[in-house]
Structures are given as structure tokens and as C-alpha cells.
Structure 1
Amino acid sequence: MHTQEQIISWATPVFFVLIGLELLVARWRGRAAYRTGDAISSIGLGVISQVVGVFAKLLSIGIYAWVAAHAALWKLPADHLAVWVIALLAYDFLYYWLHRAGHEVNILWAAHVVHHQSEHYNLSTALRQTGSGVLLGWLFYLPMALAGIPVEVFVPVALVDLLYQFWVHTEQVGRLGWFDRVFCSPSNHRVHHAVNERYLDRNYGGILILWDRLFGTFVEEDDADRPVYGTRAPLRSWNPLWANAEVYWAAAKDAWHARHWRDKALVWLKPPGWRPADVAARFPKPAFDMRRERFDPPMSHALIAYSLLQFALLLAMTTQFLGLSARASLPALLGYAAYLVGSLTVLGALMEGRRGARWAEAVRVLGTALLPWLTGRWFGIAQLDPRMAFGLLLAFGLAALALPWLGNARGAELAPVSFQTRDPR
């Protein structure tokens, strides 16, 4: 397994321990922290981001490595502490500008929007990552390659910057005094995820909030104006494919309908929400409503338990997929990736109560139960251990038997919540 996948795999159990701790603290305080559908959707999008990352290393790391090796102005040593410190500061500085551009340029927002779609704010939101950010994000870090920072330094500092940002996605940590003035903190990042007018498009820093103070994008959290989370064009879906495609699709439609070629290009380059005047007039959109209800399709107790169990199995498979990524063939990896993405999409439709979702889920679980048992094969594994094949048969066979018994009535979720009744921090 490559080092990057190893670190993510090692960190994953820590993520879930902290998520469990956050849930316990929130319950102890009598606060609403999680909803099953939202948490599964957020973490599932993180899974897809990791899956895409396996195939996108040519862009995310490969181009950087080539530039550092062939076009760097000078060579910096990878074994010098000062190089690592400079690299981390440089990465965080460039991340600020990538993050800011992701809110100011629509084609970049189309990728970044995934991270903001959740109408809740908890540690599962931190794992909600884009699957398409790799397409253009790598451009922002090329100055580090040109400056001679080796790829073996760039990759670890990028992971440090990413992993640091996990803990700031919580409402369970309040103000931290001087820390809030220097670093990205839970209070500062709550502001960033809010759609309130005073908070919109602020606090972009990854590790340091000093960049925002320096470039005029810092706003302090105000207890009199509680953050409301999500986006101003709510997703209202647990479909991970649509979550990644919604802004691209909306922009493509506006570009198609625009009468002028200049406007067709500006749709992608202007800030999010900008639309050509003729398009906005012919195809108006409803105004944003701060008091809208959160998206929360009803789920029975049985459906909640089923969804959590199936998602846990998919997480285990994702760990195996990442382990296979260094040695399995490309067709096997592509097949496995398609299975994981398709499974998460079907599970999302099931949690939404979509028509036909149960039939699609029945096909999925029966296929997962029977094909490994009958063929003795699994993605990237030519000779599957018979015990593993039997385990898949048993687990997914029982899932198929359980499907008819899943009700649709609202069950007890992790905690009820709405925009109108927000628990105080």
C-alpha cells in the first residue's frame, strides 16, 4: 500500500473514535449533532474522494513530481527541518488561495461545493470531500515545485494540512482565546461553513487563520448570529454522484441557454450564483430561504440499522480497495471502484425512499452474496478464501432477506433538529 493510503487507513479508526466521542458529548449536553442519512452521505463522499484519488495521482502528485525534478529553480534537501517548516507554511498559504478561489470562481466552486452541502456541522462533515477537486486543484501548488520543494516533502505536509482540519468541524468546542486569533479553530471554521450574510465566504485558512486576517477575509463568530449551515442552493439529496455533479450541471445548463458567447464562458469564471441576465430572466430560481427545513427523509428504525450496517461493510471494502491499489490490475481497480460508488449511490437512494431503490439494493446485495461464492473471485483477488466467500454469502444473503421488512415510517434518529429550533452552544 502506498504511504498516502497507509496514513489515511491508520487515521480512519481515529476519525471514528472522535466521531463517537463527539456524539457522546453532544448527547450529554442535550444537543443535536448527527443524523444518520447526513452522516452516511458525508462519509460516503469522503470514500468516493479516496477512491478517485487512487486514479488521479498523475494529476495530484505526478505533475508536481515532474516539475520539481525538471523545472525547479533550485533543489532543496528533503532532510532539512527548515525545508519542512517552509513547505508547511507555503502549502498552507497556497491552500488559502485555492480555498478562496473555490468560493470565488464557479468552476472551482463546482468541485468544492461538496464539502459545504451538509446542513449539519460535525466531524463527519470534515470527511465530506470532493471527487473532482483534483482536476484543477494541483495548479495552485506548482509554485512549491518550482521552488524546489521535493515531492517527498510535499506529500506529507499536504496530509498534515488536511488532517489538521478534521478536528475543527465541530460545534462541541467553543472559543479558544488566543488560539482563535492565530489558527483555524472550530469557531473560525463554523463561520466558514455558514450561509448567514455576515459569514458568507470568510475564514478560508487551513491551519493558520492569519492569512484571512492579512488579506481581509476574517470574520469572528458572533453568538448573536448563530451559523446556519449548508449552501444557498441546497442539494436535498443523499446521491453522491449528484452531489459531485450538481453545480457542473447547473453551470452547463446556464452556459447552454446563454445567448452570448462571452456569457457562456463567464458562467464558469464568475463567482457562484452569477447568471447571465437573459438566462436568469427566462429561467428564474427561487430566492434563498434561511428558515428552510433541513433535508431529512423519514427512516424507520429498521432502515436506519440496515443502512448503518451496509455502510460499515462498504467502509471495510474501501479499506481493502486502498490496500489493493498498489498491486491490483487497473481493470480490477476500476471494477471495484464502480462497485463501491454504485453501492453508495443505491444506499443513498434507499435512505431517500426513492422508487425502485429497494429493487436496486436487492440486486446489489444478491450479486455481492452469490458471485464471489459461485466464482471464488473478488476484485483484484483471483483465489478468494472460501471463508471470505462464505462470509459475503452470509452477510449479504441475510441483507437480501431483511429488505422486505424495512419500513418507511419515521424512526428515532440520532437526534432531531431543525433550523427553527437550534440548540445553543
Structure 2
Amino acid sequence: MAEYNITALAIPLFLFFMLIEYAYLRLSGRDLHRFSDNIASLSMGICLLVSDALLKTFTFSVFIWAWSSYRLFDFGSASWVTWVVFFFGVDFCYYWFHRIAHTYNFLWGAHVGHHQSEEYNLTTALRQSAFQYAFSWVFYLPLAFLGCPPEVFLIQFMLLKAYQFWLHTQAIDRIPLMEGVFSTPSSHRVHHAKNPIYIDKNFGGTLVIWDRMFGSWQPEVAEHPCHYGTTTPLKTWNPVKANLQHWSMLFRDSLHTESWWDKVRLWFKPTGWRPEDRRRVSNKLQKTGVSNRPKFDPIVSSTTKLYCGVSFALLVLLVTMFIFLSPQLSARALAFGVLLILAGLVMISQFLEGKFQLRYVEVVRVPALLWFLAVLWTLPISTQVSQRLDVAQEASPTIELSEETTLSALPWLEKPAVLDGSTPAVQQVTWHPDRKQGQLEYTLRYELSSFPEHVANILSARSALEENSRLWLQEQL
């Protein structure tokens, strides 16, 4: 298992681009952001990131298992052909996951969260269902059977998701030469619009050639300006309710419909299908689309917004550290962190809706959050760099190692400035003899004790230590 989940390091980068977009739109005289809606979208993104941090090891392990055991072809990750073939392969699989997620009731419940915002800006890109990755990974397994190397799939998938981020903006108009071939902000605005003409169009991730091939293409039309959201309005900022909105409706329908057959099949019927006796109670159909309508926008005081803004900033800091360090945390710490994050998101959403009945919970939640922040900030982690060199059998090496156990005490080491000189370190050399040549394995274990050091280690310090130790080891031989 990886020592860190580096996905967390993208959070500050995403926030930076969101601020750039906000500033540009405001300077252009376009007010396309709402504070509460932005917080709600980012809250949904946090739920997804936490879910992904907990599920990623399992889902990627299944891909590796399928590739290792059942692949039909051998593609080398060093070949450009592999990267081109599976660029199209990953995008093709994404198209069909995305389209099917819009097509059937059960899967729509795992995707609808991405469409609930009544605004369209870069915060919408992070507004994703927490359960989406629990289902989407199945659609990529054919790539493993076809022989896509796991590292190629992982990089292609990350590039696909990164590409989709910039599509969620109204700051960019139609782009000549790209429209109709690549996904663009214009084509993706169509996908998010709830206008009847735009419903269930433009499912492409990086490319929209699949939409053109399979009949789901629709360009943006000036006579039909996009208005956003879902046919059934969410009417809450609460990310927990948002994630469960469609599934809760399906559950109520299955509970109250009289037909036992309908209780089962409604989960697998096309999106928007409901039993006849439930349609008579409330006719909510995603497929039809709706005209524009007033947006959900409860009025709260500036003081409330300030409190929620500060609370959310602390929560973002906690989430960044929690996700980054998640591979190192115990099951108890993971469970506590998830509960603390969800509690914070729910409390903030309640306040932004003008609901203060649970305000006394803050007396417990805020101190718990500050305590957990301090725990994660000072979490000690042991890590290591390793080197392996092939050496002729007759040149059996003898290397004298320093008995000192701090990085600063290693005379050969140019210690990275970002690490504390008193960082504990232990060296070890292991000789693996063979008939004709042996292998020398060198390991330097060292301990880090603060979040900034962990980040510095993954960004630059480890690579510097690897290079320094490699040069030293070669000198000894």
C-alpha cells in the first residue's frame, strides 16, 4: 500500500483555479457564483474524495488482479501504441459508464449528485456523488482483460478526470476546431442543462466522437440558453441528503407501491420510471426536462456566512491532511475522521439553510476538529528510500556504515533543506549473492513528524535522498 494518497495535493490546486475563475467573471461583470451553492458543491466533492480514499485500494486491486490473471494480450507500457490505444479505450469505457449512469434508475442515484447544482462553474466539477466510484470501476475491467497495464490505466484515468475539470465553466465560449471532436465547456454545458432539448446529451469525457457515433450529440444552441440543475430540484445544501436523494425516492416508491414486481424492477428500469400508483402521488420524471425556475437560495446573514466560511476552510485543511495520510491511519482513526468530516459538512449546510436547531453540537464538534487537526499535523511516519545495484559475484562488497542515526550525521548525504536535521535515520545494506553476480540492496529508513515534512518528502525530499544515496553507494563499489 502507498505511504501517502497524493490525490489530496490536487485540492489546493483546484481551489486556486476556482478563485481565478471567480475573479475573472466578477471583473467581467458576470456573477455566476453563489456562496452557499459553492460550499454545497465543494462539500459533495469532499464526500467523493473521502469515499475514493477508502475505496481506491480495493477497486484498483481488482483491476490489477484481472490484468495479472486473465489478460488476453500483452501491451508494454513503454510503447506509444499502448498509450494511444488505451487513451481511446479509457475514454470509450467512460462514455458508456456515463451514458448508462443516466439511463437506469439505480445508477442514476450514484451519479445524480453531479447534476444537482443550479449554477455552472468550476466548483461544479468537484460536485460528484460519493458512491460513483463504487460502481464506475466495473466498466473499466474490459481494459484489464484486453491487457492495459495498470500504470497506463491509472495515468490515463487521472488525465481524463483532470481534463474534465476545465469543462465546467461559462467563462469560455465555443472553441473553433475543437467543437464536435473534443469535449469543450460548450458541449459540456449542454450535458448539464435541464432544458428539454438538452436532456441526456453529450456524455463524452475527453472526446465527443462517441456521442456523434451513438446518437447522443447535441451542440449548444443560442436560442436555448442553458439552465442548470435536475428535473426534480434538490432544495437543500446538505451533501448527505444530496447523495441519497434519488435512492431515497426509489426506496419510498418500492416501500409504498402495491405491486411486488414493481418493488423490485423500478431499481433497474430506465431513469425516471415509477410505478403507476406512485406516479399518481407525485410525477417526477428526469427524462422530460423542465423550463427555467427560481433557484433554491435561502437568505442567511453575513455573520452566518462568515462562520460557515471559516468552518469550511478548517474542514478543507482537515480533509487535505486526512486524505493524504489515509494509508497510514488506523481503522478507528479513519472512522473518526469520516464522522468528523460529515458532521462538519452537515452542520455548515444546516446553518446556510437558516436552520440552527443543532447549533449546540458545535460545542463538541469544533474542539474535536481542532484536536484531530493537531493529531494529523504531528503524525509521525517512518518511510524509506531503497537502491538495488547488480555487482559481480567476485567483487563481494564490504561497506562500513555510520552508527549515527540522524540524517544530519551522515557525512556523505546532502540533506534536503526541507527536512529537519535531527530526523532519525537507520541505514542497512544487504548482499544477495548469486552464481555469476549478486545484488546489493541499500535501504535508508527515516522518520518524519509533521505534515509539511510529509508533503515535502513526497514532492522533492525523497527523490533527492534517492539520488544522493545512489551516488554514495556507487562510490563505495
Fold-level similarity (TM above 0.5): yes
Matched residue type, 1:331: R
Identify the range of structure 1 (251-260 vs 185-194) with the bigger mean alpha-carbon deviation: 251-260
2-structure distance, mates of 1:268, 1:276: 11
Report the alpha carbon displacement of residue 323 of structure 1 after superposing the two structures with TM. 2.0
Deviations 1:116-158 (A, max 9, x none): 0000000000011111112321111111010011211111111
Contact kept, 8 Å, 2:114 with 2:129, in 1: the verdict is yes
1:14 paired residue number: 13
Q: Is the 8 A contact 2:76 2:149 kept in 1?
A: yes
Deviation digits for residues 362-397 of structure 1 (CA, Å, limit 9, x no counterpart): 33114435x569xx85699489x9999xxxxxxxxx
Task: Please give the per-residue CA displacement for 1:41-93, whole angstroms capped at 9, x wherever unaligned.
Answer: 11111111111112112542121111111111123222222112211210100
TM-score normalised by length of structure 2: 0.75
Q: Which residue of 2 aligns with 1:100?
A: 99
Work out the CA distance in 2 between the residues paired with 1:3 and 1:77.
Answer: 27
1:311 alignment partner in structure 2: 312
Go from structure 1 to structure 2 and tell me whether the alpha carbon gap of 1:265 and 1:19 turns closer, same or farther (over 3 Å shift). same
Letter in 1 for 2:114: H
Bigger fraction of residues in strand: 2
Please name the residue that 1:414 is paired with: none
Q: In the comparison of the two structures, how many residue pairs are matched?
A: 383
Tell me the residue number matched to 1:5.
5
1:26 CA displacement = 1.0
Alignment of 1:275-294 (within 5 A): 275-284=274-283, 290-294=291-295
CA distance in 1, matches of 2:172, 2:109: 30
Where do 1:255-334 residues align within 5 Å? 255-284=254-283, 290-334=291-335
- Tell me the residue number matched to 2:51: 52
Residues 377 and 136 (structure 1), Cα distance of their counterparts in 2 relative to 1, 3 Å cut? closer
Q: How does 1:352-371 map to 2 (within 5 A)?
A: 352-369=353-370
1:121 equivalent in alignment to 2:120: yes
Deviation at 1:290, TM superposition (A): 2.7
Change (3 A) 1:372 1:145: closer
Q: Structure 1 residue 231: deviation in Å?
A: 0.2
Q: Structure 1's 237 and 380: CA in aligned 2 closer, same or farther, altered over 3 A?
A: farther
- Aligned residues: CA RMSD: 2.6
Give the conservation status (yes or no) of the 8 Å contact 1:267–1:276: yes
Partner of 1:205, secondary structure, is: coil
Report how far residue 21 of structure 1 moved: 1.5
* Range with greater deviation from structure 2 (346-355 or 54-63): 54-63
Distance 1:9 1:62, change over 3 A: same
Structure with more helix by fraction:
1
Q: What displacement does 1:223 show?
A: 1.0
- Map of 1:228 onto structure 2: 227
Instruction: Provide closer, same or farther for how the CA distance between residues 355 and 9 of structure 1 changes in structure 2, counting only shifts above 3 A.
Output: closer
Q: Which moved more, 1:178-187 or 1:79-88?
A: 79-88
The equivalent residue for 2:67 is: 68
Residue 112 of structure 1, CA deviation: 0.4
Q: Distance in 1 between matches of 2:252 and 2:299?
A: 31
Ranges of 4+ aligned residues in structure 1 off by more than 6 Å: 385-388
2:72 aligned partner, one-letter code = L
Corresponding residue SS for 1:272: coil
Task: Return closer, same or farther for 1:29/1:3 CA change in 2, 3 Å cut-off.
Answer: farther
Report Cα offsets for 1:6-41 as digits up to 9, x if no partner: 1x3343333222211111121122112111111111
> Which residue is equivalent to 1:208?
207
The answer on whether the counterparts of 1:333 and 1:379 sit within 8 Å (CA) in structure 2 is: no
Q: Which runs of 5+ in 1 are unaligned?
A: 389-425
| Residue 344 in structure 1 maps to residue 345 in structure 2 | yes
Sort the Cα spacing of 1:377 and 1:181 in 2 relative to 1 into closer, same or farther, 3 A: closer
Instruction: Report the equivalent of 1:218.
Output: 217
User: Structure 2 counterpart of 1:5, which letter?
Assistant: N
Identity %, equivalent residues: 36
Q: Tell me the secondary structure at the aligned position of residue 253 of structure 1.
A: helix
Normalization by structure 1: what TM-score? 0.84
Kindly provide the amino acid, as one letter, of the partner of residue 256 in structure 2: H
Q: Which residue pairs with 1:421 in the alignment?
A: none
Task: Please identify, of 181-190 and 360-369, the stretch whose mean Cα deviation from structure 2 is larger.
Answer: 360-369
Once the 2 structures are TM-superposed, how far is the Cα of residue 357 of structure 1 from its aligned partner?
Answer: 3.4
SS of the counterpart of 1:181?
Answer: coil
State the partner residue of 2:144: 145
Q: Which residue is equivalent to 2:130?
A: 131
Per the alignment, residue 80 of structure 2 pairs with 81
**Letter aligned with residue 92 of structure 1:** D
Q: CA deviation at 1:259?
A: 2.5
Instruction: Give the Å deviation of 1:4.
Output: 8.7
2:62 & 2:372 partners in 1: Cα distance? 38
Q: Given that residues 193 and 229 in structure 1 are in contact (C-alpha distance below 8 angstroms), is that contact kept between their aligned partners in structure 2?
A: yes
Query: By how many angstroms is 1:229 displaced?
Result: 0.2
Q: Comparing both chains, which one has the higher relative contact order based on Cα–Cα distances under 8 Å and sequence gaps of 6 or more?
A: 1
CA 239–316 in structure 1, closer or farther in 2 if over 3 Å, else same: same
Cross-structure match for 1:176: 175
Task: Give 1:395's aligned residue.
Answer: none
Residue 97 and residue 41 in structure 1: after superposition, are their counterparts in 2 closer, same or farther (change >3 A)?
Answer: same
State the structure with more CA Rg: 2
- Indicate conservation of the 8 Å contact 2:5/2:325, yes or no: no
Aligned AA for 2:329? A
CA contact (8 A) 1:233 1:288 kept: no
Task: Supply the AA of the counterpart residue of 1:360.
Answer: V
Pair 382,349 (structure 1): closer, same or farther in 2 beyond 3 Å: farther
* Contact 1:336 1:379 (8 Å CA) reproduced: no
- Structure 2 gaps of 5+ residues are 382-447, 452-477
Correspondence for 2:40: 41
